[in-house]
């Protein structure tokens, strides 16, 4: 079966964001990407036309060739789950959603001749995790701000099927618990602290500077799926005196402690939900998805629990992965057996040396060709250069994984501050992550032994005491580090670069941050990379086998 997955519809419908598309053929992932990478608008909304065109082109297909189009949203979910909200505004919104989605479905069917089907938001999240895990059986937890009617759901994944067991409803007029959104609490405190929208990662980083001294029992305290307190309104009620009203103001210790208290409340809640799932199934394999599961610290708390043997989170765990999940779910229903372990994240556009050369010739920039680009870049990194690294197919998800990355030598003290100030133009306290050769990861980081890998930068481990002074640029204030492990099968060129670094300094590791400036998506094309390189403090750009260098 040839299946196109889509997250989004025309216009701005309620909470939908991170528009994306994916192509799955006979159960195999061919391509997937977010619209933001093409239209350069972060968290893009609306129909992902550019992402759809890319996916079709990568698969060698036209719309008329498709068998199924999977939309990662079900406008009928409030009816399906008997959660019709009779508040006039919400009722009208849900009714309008049905009309728009029906219209969109009819037009897609007319355009393509394919069967168009809706997939529940949290089911699409669950499918994106389970069918990429390679597990025969797993507890699948999806946690985010909101789906159609819930913010959390627990599924049992077995062979090529997913079965919903229970969830946490958002709440309706028939419930006294309004807006039971786990992700909503985290997002609300993020804006309360003046960190912005879609900036939850900043809160996680800030939490490391504080101590969890504040009581969140009336804000976020989930003991079980049917025994919880989730009320973001109480942030303002209880801790109004700690609000940061301008992003120009420095953080007080109280605000740092508030972030730390939120982080602990989230971690405790996620661990409790995972333990409840384990007690139900006695299965020790877990798969996570949803925006909240980008929280590396919470993920690792679960991973290190006795009831968990393995935990898989796919790299586009946020809503950008919904299109992929919807396509995989319908592939499974069609009998295609899509359950394969996702070993890499490189499903976006790639560009040949020939294409890159044509682009470079149209610029006034000087450049050189190097057959052994990995050795040249390793030398530059050891000399203290900040290098843009643009190679192969673009990775999926919000974190650069070695194909659209900005790199530096993590042994250079202060180079992280320089990148924050001169390249990323962001807060100087923001931490950076390392990429490390998989075979060496446990030498430097505690806890990696349990999993052996962390290929998608979705776990936090701690730098071993004897190496904290060795890697100042990637060791956070609490000695934590959100690592990416790399092996040769996943990314041969990137792994080769790490080995070249080891030859020069004894450590197969680089500082790795996303190739973008503040406020823009990760670069997608060579043109994007050249523009970012030219307008920021990046010292050199390795783009395919070509090298550009300033000065």
Terminal-to-terminal C-alpha distance of the chain: 53
In this structure, is the dihedral angle defined by the CA atoms of residues 427, 522, 325 and 486, taken in order, positive or negative? Answer: negative
pLDDT at 81: 87
389 shares a domain with 473: yes
Domain ends where: 284, 313, 342? Answer: 313
pTM value is: 0.96
Tokens of 16: 């939908």
Torsion of CA 318, 321, 323, 325, to 10 degrees: -110
The count of other CB atoms within 10 Å of the CB of residue 428 is 11
Residue 140 falls inside a structural domain: no
Q: Which of 185, 155, 528, 539 is nearest to 325 (CA)?
A: 155
> How many domains does the chain fold into?
3
Strands 445-446, 461-463: parallel, antiparallel or unpaired by DSSP? Answer: antiparallel
Secondary structure class of 49 (helix, strand, coil): helix
Residue 305 falls inside a structural domain: yes
304 shares a domain with 291: yes
Strands 150-158, 115-118: parallel, antiparallel or unpaired by DSSP? Answer: unpaired
Compute the distance between CA of residue 287 and CA of residue 321 in angstroms, rounded to an integer.
14
CATH of the domain at 201: 3.30.420.40
17 assigned to active site:
yes
370 shares a domain with 226: no
309 shares a domain with 275: yes
517 shares a domain with 381: yes
Q: What is the pLDDT tens value at each position of the chain, 551 positions in all?
A: 999 999 987 644 545 789 999 999 999 999 999 999 999 999 999 899 999 999 999 999 999 999 999 999 999 998 898 887 777 777 887 888 899 899 999 999 999 999 999 999 999 999 999 999 999 999 999 999 989 999 999 999 998 999 999 999 987 534 444 679 999 999 999 999 999 999 999 999 999 999 999 999 999 999 999 999 999 999 999 999 999 988 889 999 999 999 999 999 999 999 999 999 999 999 999 999 999 999 999 999 999 999 999 999 999 999 999 999 999 999 999 999 998 999 999 999 999 999 999 999 999 899 999 999 999 999 999 999 999 999 999 999 999 999 999 999 999 999 999 999 999 999 989 999 999 999 999 999 999 999 889 999 999 999 999 999 999 999 999 999 999 999 999 999 999 999 999 999 999 999 999 999 999 999 999 999 999 999 999 999 999 999 999 97
217 shares a domain with 72: no
Task: State how far the alpha carbon of 375 is from the alpha carbons of 95, 98, 372, 487, 500, in Å.
Answer: 59, 56, 6, 18, 6
Q: Which helix (H) or strand (E) holds 496?
A: helix 492-505
pLDDT at 12: 45
Compute the distance between CA of residue 408 and CA of residue 545 in angstroms, rounded to an integer.
18
128 shares a domain with 212: no
204 phi-psi bin (left φ>0, alpha ψ -120 to 50, beta other): alpha
211 shares a domain with 66: no
328 shares a domain with 193: no
298 shares a domain with 320: no
Compute the distance between CA of residue 73 and CA of residue 104 in angstroms, rounded to an integer.
12
Q: Which of 290, 314, 286 is nearest to 301 (CA)?
A: 286
Q: What one-character DSSP code corresponds to residue 467?
A: G
Q: What one-character DSSP code corresponds to residue 346?
A: B
Chain centroid to Cα 82, Å, comes to: 31
Tokens of 345: 């994240």
Tokens of 388: 């843009």
Q: Which helix (H) or strand (E) holds 57?
A: helix 49-59
Residue 345 falls inside a structural domain: no
pLDDT at 178: 63
pLDDT at 40: 97
Residue 465 falls inside a structural domain: yes
3-class SS string, 356-382: HHHHHHCCCCCCEECCCHHHHHHHHHH
Tokens of 63: 């719309």
DSSP string, 265-279: HHHHHHHHHHHHHHH
CATH of the domain at 512: 3.90.870.20
Residue 48 falls inside a structural domain: yes
368 shares a domain with 466: yes
Give the full edge-to-edge strand order of the sheet including 480-481: 445-446, 461-463, 480-481
281 shares a domain with 399: no
The count of other CB atoms within 10 Å of the CB of residue 400 is 25
Of 17, 121, 122, 344, the catalytic one is 17
Residue 168 falls inside a structural domain: no
Domain hosting residue 14, numbered range? 2-132+315-333
Residue 149 falls inside a structural domain: no
Residue 340 falls inside a structural domain: no
Identify each DSSP E strand in 264-341 by its residue range: 285-289, 310-313
Domain ends where: 263, 281, 313? Answer: 313
Tokens of 265: 């409340």
pLDDT at 82: 80
């Amino acid at each position: 079966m040839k299946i196109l997955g889509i997250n989004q519809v025309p216009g701005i419908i309620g909470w939908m964001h991170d528009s994306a598309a994916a192509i799955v053929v006979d159960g195999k992932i061919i391509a997937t990407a977010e619209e933001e990478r093409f239209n350069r608008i972060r968290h893009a909304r609306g129909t992902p036309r550019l992402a759809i065109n890319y996916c079709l082109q990568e698969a060698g297909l036209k719309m008329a060739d498709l068998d199924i189009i999977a939309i990662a949203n079900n406008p009928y979910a409030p009816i399906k789950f008997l959660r019709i909200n009779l508040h006039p505004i919400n009722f009208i919104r849900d009714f309008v959603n049905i009309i728009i989605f029906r219209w969109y479905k009819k037009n897609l069917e007319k355009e393509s001749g394919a069967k168009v089907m809706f997939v529940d938001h949290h089911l699409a999240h669950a499918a994106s995790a389970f069918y990429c895990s390679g597990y025969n059986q797993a507890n699948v937890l999806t946690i985010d701000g909101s789906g159609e009617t819930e913010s959390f759901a627990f599924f049992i994944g077995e062979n090529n099927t997913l079965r919903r067991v229970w969830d946490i409803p958002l709440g309706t007029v028939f419930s006294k618990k309004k807006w039971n959104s786990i992700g909503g609490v985290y997002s609300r405190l993020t804006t309360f602290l003046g960190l912005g929208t879609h900036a939850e990662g900043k809160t996680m980083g800030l939490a490391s500077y504080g101590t969890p001294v504040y009581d969140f029992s009336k804000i976020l305290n989930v003991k079980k799926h049917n025994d919880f307190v989730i009320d973001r309104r109480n942030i303002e009620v209880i801790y109004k005196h700690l609000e940061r009203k301008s992003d120009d103001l420095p953080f007080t210790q109280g605000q740092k402690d508030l972030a730390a208290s939120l982080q602990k409340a989230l971690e405790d809640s996620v661990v409790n939900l995972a333990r409840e799932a384990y007690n139900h199934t006695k299965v020790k394999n877990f798969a996570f998805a949803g925006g909240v599961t980008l929280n590396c610290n919470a993920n690792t708390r679960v991973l290190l629990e006795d009831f968990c043997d393995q935990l898989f989170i796919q790299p586009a765990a946020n809503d950008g992965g919904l299109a992929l999940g919807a396509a995989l779910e319908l592939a499974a229903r069609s009998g295609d057996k899509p359950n394969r372990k996702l070993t890499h994240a490189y499903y976006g556009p790639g560009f040949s040396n020939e294409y890159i050369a044509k682009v470079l010739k149209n610029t006034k920039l000087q450049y050189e060709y190097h057959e052994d680009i990995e050795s040249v870049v390793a030398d530059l990194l050891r000399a203290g250069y900040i290098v843009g690294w643009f190679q192969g197919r673009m990775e999926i998800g919000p974190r650069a994984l070695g194909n659209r990355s900005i790199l530096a030598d993590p042994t250079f003290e202060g180079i992280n501050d320089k990148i924050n100030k001169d390249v990323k133009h962001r807060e100087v306290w923001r931490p950076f992550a390392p990429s490390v050769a998989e075979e060496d990861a446990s030498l430097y980081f505690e806890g990696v032994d349990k999993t052996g890998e962390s290929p998608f930068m979705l776990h936090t481990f701690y730098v071993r005491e004897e190496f904290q002074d060795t890697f100042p640029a990637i060791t956070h204030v609490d000695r934590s580090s959100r690592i990416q492990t790399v092996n040769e099968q996943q990314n041969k060129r990137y792994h080769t670069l790490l080995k070249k670094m080891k030859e020069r300094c004894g450590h197969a590791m680089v500082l790795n941050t996303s190739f973008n400036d503040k406020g823009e998506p990760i670069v997608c094309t060579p043109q994007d990379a050249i523009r970012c390189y030219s307008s920021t403090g990046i010292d050199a750009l390795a783009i395919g086998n070509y090298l550009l260098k300033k000065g």
